[in-house]
Structure 1
Amino acid sequence: MTKAVKPDAEQPYFDAPAHIPGGSDHQIPHSHRLVYRDYDVIVHLTGYEYETFGETLWAVGAEVVKELEIVVLVSVDQAQHYRSYDEAMAHGTALGKRLVDGLTGVRQTSEQSLAAARGKTNQTNGRIHSMNDNNAVVRHDESQQRYVLEVDGKELGVASYQDESDRQVFTHTEVDPSLEGQGMGSKLVREALDGARRRGKRIVPMCEFVAAYVKKHHDWDDIIAAQ
């Protein structure tokens, strides 16, 4: 195993998630250690300052340590950022505790444990599921003008839009907190954007999450409509 590092604040512990807009003026890394169920949880936060916005956006990650050995690598919340340090710390603490609960509450095979350490599993009804398999799908609910993320048949995310002639205006994206740090928000938005392209639509990213995603990923530059 990899030896755990001290929770200092010299360098960010993870790359900027997809939902963080580029071009920040300054990055503020911070880490905090807490004890939960005899495990050390290290919450990693990185604040991204934007002078033009006049605000700081906080991204969140967490890892689990036992007797100075890392047992769960840094899992980053890929679905949401936060506008205050206290809010980010609260969500980071909750993320770290969920990682510990996954270790202590479910008996895992060695392969599942490796997947969990990479932040790519989801616990549902007492089972561990890899997000690399077919348990997570995105379907288009055209009648309700939304794309729905389903895990094991349960609706756990939605990207809502409004059709305006040849334009598809994304208005809201939401993913269940249980999927934090697993890239499911990015999966939902990516497939929703692909769906808009297949329908011959130009996209208008009014939703903050979608706007941040397309700003960092340029595969859809050709179908972004002028607002």
Structure 2
Amino acid sequence: MAYLIEDNPARRRFEILVDDNLAGTAHYRLAPGLVVFTHTEIDPAHQGKGVGSALARGALDQVRQRGERVQAPCPFIASFISSHPEYADLVAPESAPY
């Protein structure tokens, strides 16, 4: 399987393509310097195959490259960050506006 994770700012979501087919999305809202992940959805045909983790990793890597921080009311992204401490530095204080 070949993964491609792209930001789709017009739809306010990161998308993961698996073999050129949309397999999942991570929706967000923006605030200055902040990406607030609100909902992650993986196509049922791709669940349990690491697609969600690949999407989370790719989205967070892109946020890091842009020098932004994150908040994750989305349970999937929050759980991913908790399980991968290398992304903990991206988490903005809860008091940050969104």
Identify whether the pair has TM-score above 0.5, normalized to the shorter chain. Answer: yes
How far is the alpha carbon of 1:143 from its aligned partner?
A: 2.1
Q: Detail structure 1 runs of 4+ shifted over 2 Å in the superposition.
A: none
Could you say which residue in structure 1 is the equivalent of 2:6? 139
Could you say which residue in structure 1 is the equivalent of 2:16? 149
Cα distance in 2, alignment partners of residues 138 and 194 from structure 1: 10
TM-score by length of 1: 0.40
3-state DSSP of counterpart to 1:226:
coil
From 162, 169, 172, the equivalent of 2:39 is 172
Cα distance in 2, alignment partners of residues 220 and 136 from structure 1: 20
Q: Which runs of 5 or more residues in structure 2 are unaligned? A: none
How far is the alpha carbon of 1:155 from its aligned partner?
A: 1.0
Could you say which residue in structure 2 is the equivalent of 1:42? none
Could you say which residue in structure 2 is the equivalent of 1:188? 55
Identity among equivalent positions (%) equals 36
How far is the alpha carbon of 1:191 from its aligned partner?
A: 0.5
Could you say which residue in structure 2 is the equivalent of 1:219? 86
Please identify which structure carries the higher helix content: 2
What is the identity, as a one-letter code, of the residue corresponding to 1:176?
A: D
Q: Which runs of 5 or more residues in structure 1 are unaligned? A: 1-130
Cα distance in 2, alignment partners of residues 172 and 181 from structure 1: 17
Could you say which residue in structure 2 is the equivalent of 1:158? 25
The aligned length equals: 94
Cα distance in 2, alignment partners of residues 136 and 148 from structure 1: 10
TM-score by length of 2: 0.90
Cα distance in 1, alignment partners of residues 33 and 4 from structure 2: 26
> Over the residues paired in the alignment, what is the CA RMSD in angstroms?
1.0
